[in-house]
Amino acid sequence: MKRTAETSRLLGVNGRLVVLSIALLASAMSPDRAAAAYPKILRINLNPYPGAATDLARYDHVAYSYRAALMLRQAVRAANPSSVDFAWISAQSVSSTDTYGLIKAIRDSANAYNWWVYKSDGSHTLSWCANGVDNEWVLDMTDNCPRSRRGERFRDWFARTLVDSLVTGRQFHGLILDQCHSTIYWLREFQCNPARVPLDLNRDGIGDADTTVTRQWALGIYDFLKQLRERVGPDYPVLCNGAVNLVYDNAGKRLTDFLNGVMLECFLMMPPLRTDFHNNLFNINRGYFPEQAAVQPLAGQRWMIIGDSGPCLQLTGEALERQKRLTLGGCLLGDGFYTRPPWDGNEWQPEYDLCLGEPLSDADSLAGGSQGVWVREFTNGFVAVNPNPAPVFVPGRGTFVPALDAVFVQDPLDRVTDLATSVVYPNVAQVRFTVTGDASGCSVPSTYRLRAEDPAGNTREWTGVVTMPAGALQYANATFLTAGTAYRFTITTEKPNMSPSVASDTLRVTTSGGAGDTQPPAIVQDLAVSVASPRSLTLRWTAPMDPPTGGAAAVYETRRWLDGGSWATGTVLAGFPQPVSPGTQQSYTARGLTEATRYHFQMKTRDYSNNWSAPSPEVIGWTRSSSEAAGAMLEPILPNPFSRATRMQLTLREAVPVDVSVFATDGRLVKVLLRETRGAGVISLTWDGTDGGGRAVSNGVYLCRLSTPGIGITRKMVLLRNR
């Protein structure tokens, strides 16, 4: 192992542990970065939510449910063209209520040909249930399954349909098959079957023995995966999320013969020892794809997706954080992709921003046996995991405490070598430096720390966010200085889970005499509402310049109010970001708003000398109605009022019949603007104030109504022609 002395220094040979602080970065990770550096992250999204596309664009790999893919995938690919996406779909059950495309087709075909698995009392077998609702009905993978008019059993039809719907044309980069088990006998004891009614695969009204269920199911699911692999070819990734007995021989066959990998949804709940990190890690490294498998068509293309057990065990607080770190540590030690369980909301983990490089060796249990501390060296750092309840001393390495269980350490950032003066005034000094990376070439600092010392030895520090890429110039402001005073400046750069850079050489700066800065920052001229949802509005603007330094201002103050209000009566928006380098695009989401409501916004900017800018131009945004968020959106009509023509823009999330018509306030139809089936996307329409016969209508209030199946949205518009 490399750098033993360095590792000992960081961990401490006297039982002291250096735990580096954590902060959040918003930079996106690409597959190129993921291929060259650990950790490897995959995000699962089953249910769209406001802002999901922006969140998911951070990840290098994303798995979507069919519903989520319809609503999000194009937007994520637009924001992150390198995103690798997987289709997440159940292999042996289907929602009893979902109405989206492929899911509905599966359920309709199963109803038509009776492709269900029943219990001995004639009721459906459930693989999932919640709140008293029959959520997932199990589909029949066995030879007992009836055939369709084409002579296909469910497994034959499903293999063909998956390829036609999700694979052909590389619509998705891969498949993750949920509910993919080599036996289903355990559903007899499942929470959705409280009466413990046995399964009845041959439909004779008599419950089948567990051994019979296991044998018949293993043969069926094996044949399904075999057919699917033959259709997609050897290079297309297919993974399963199911019971760990995917690796066992059932009826002489092994399901992993046809899989690129498996997902372990709850890593530390793996049987037989449940929370035993050591045995689970051995299983990951040695047990899932043994070399002696009967068929090896997928050599070198093995995936392992590992989810933490925190939500599975309903943990919160420190216990949940412990599970996250243990699981991520297991992924780094065992070459797995890390994910949060799919029902969990989006949550960007600070450790995702690690850039450890390539592993230099397999994981090593330094202390050996059941009390081992696992350590793995990477080109840019190391990972250490102590899963034991007590500290463990490792000769030559120091003592590893179990407080956080997993320690992720990355090599230091490179030192700044060109700190220089940009602009100096009586109470402000602006310096510049070239943003440094690290030896790996994949990390940039997230913050800088500028330090100044005056002739009396008094010191002050300023910290800021690094907004520029490696190799570009970054500016930093030192404020509230004393006029006519000589200062000695140094700077360091930092990133979570990394040692800070060594301090730069000293830069000597003397502030000028005379009066201080009296010029306010520039006015923000392009404040705009860019994204709307029923309960939130997202603002975007360009960061202004602060003369005379030409750098960033200090603080924004932004207010909102309803119709009839003003800046003086408006509510100050909390949690607003600080100004960044001039010309940089910034955004903020105002949450907790009322749906279908018009809000007014303005912002001012203050510099470090307490000079305030004038307010920005006022902007207006409408929150959407809940029906719009469900499947269709109608933007506010502009201009409104209008004299010649007005425009409306609508967005469809899927292909549906759509009607956009103009009505008088008494309900009379004035004109049909659109009445046809349209695909997902944005549609722009114009109304020129005429009726269906091309005749000009009188001035007054009119209603524009968007109608799609299950959704109706109405907007008022006012026609005011010049007399």
Pairing mode, if any, of strands 700-708 and 711-719? Answer: antiparallel
Residue with more model confidence, 28 or 124: 124
Note the pLDDT of residue 303.
76
Distance CA(684)–CA(26), nearest Å, equals 33
Give the residue among 428, 418, 424 at the shortest CA–CA distance from 553.
428
Position 522 pLDDT exceeds 90: yes
pLDDT classification of 630: cutoffs 50, 70, 90: low
pLDDT, tens digit, for every residue of 46-67? 877 777 888 888 888 999 988 7
Average pLDDT over residues 387-398: 76
pLDDT at residue 420, as a whole number:
94
pLDDT value at position 109? 93
Least Cα distance to 588 among 525, 522, 543 occurs for 543
Mean pLDDT score, 123-145: 80
Q: What is residue 70's predicted lDDT score, i.e. its pLDDT? A: 82
Q: Name the token pair of 192.
A: 């959705």
Give the pLDDT confidence of 681-704 residue by residue, as tens digits. Answer: 788 899 999 999 999 999 999 988
| pLDDT surpasses 50 at 30 | no
Strand partners, 457: none
DSSP type of residue 165: I
Quote the radius of gyration of the chain (alpha carbons, Å). Answer: 31
**Hey, which of 75-84, 99-108, 296-305, 555-564 has the most confident mean pLDDT?**
555-564
What is the band of 296 on the pLDDT scale with cuts at 50, 70, 90?
very low
Q: Where is average pLDDT lowest: 244-258, 396-410, 534-548? A: 244-258
438 compared with 510, residue with greater pLDDT: 510
Under 8 Å between Cβ of 512 and 425: yes
What is the distance between the alpha carbons of residues 440 and 241, in angstroms, rounded to a whole number? 34
CA distance 67 to 45: 10
Residue 215: its pLDDT value, please? 87
Which of the four pLDDT bands, split at 50, 70 and 90, describes residue 532?
confident
On whether the CB atoms of residues 59 and 72 are closer than 8 A, the answer is no
pLDDT at position 450: 94
DSSP, residue by residue, 62-117? EEEEHHHHHHHHHHHHHH-TT-EEEEEEESSEEESS--SHHHHHHHHHHHHHT-B-
Percent of the chain with pLDDT over 90: 27
For residues 534 and 630, give the distance between their C-alpha atoms in angstroms, rounded to a whole number.
Answer: 10
How much is the pLDDT for 301?
A: 54
Is the distance from CB of 431 to CB of 491 less than 8 angstroms? yes
Instruction: Yes or no: say if 545 and 521 are a contact pair by the CB < 8 Å rule.
Output: yes
Q: Give φ, ψ of 398 to 5 degrees.
A: 105, -170
Torsion of CA 356, 361, 366, 371, to 10 degrees: 80
Lowest average pLDDT, out of 13-22, 27-36, 320-329, 386-395, goes to: 13-22
- pTM for this prediction: 0.62
CA–CA separation, 442 vs 470, rounded Å? 9
DSSP letters along 270-313, please?
Answer: BTTTBS-HHHHHHIIIIISS-TT-S--TTTT--EEEEE-STTTT
pLDDT of 458 above 90: yes
pLDDT over 70 at 293, yes or no: no
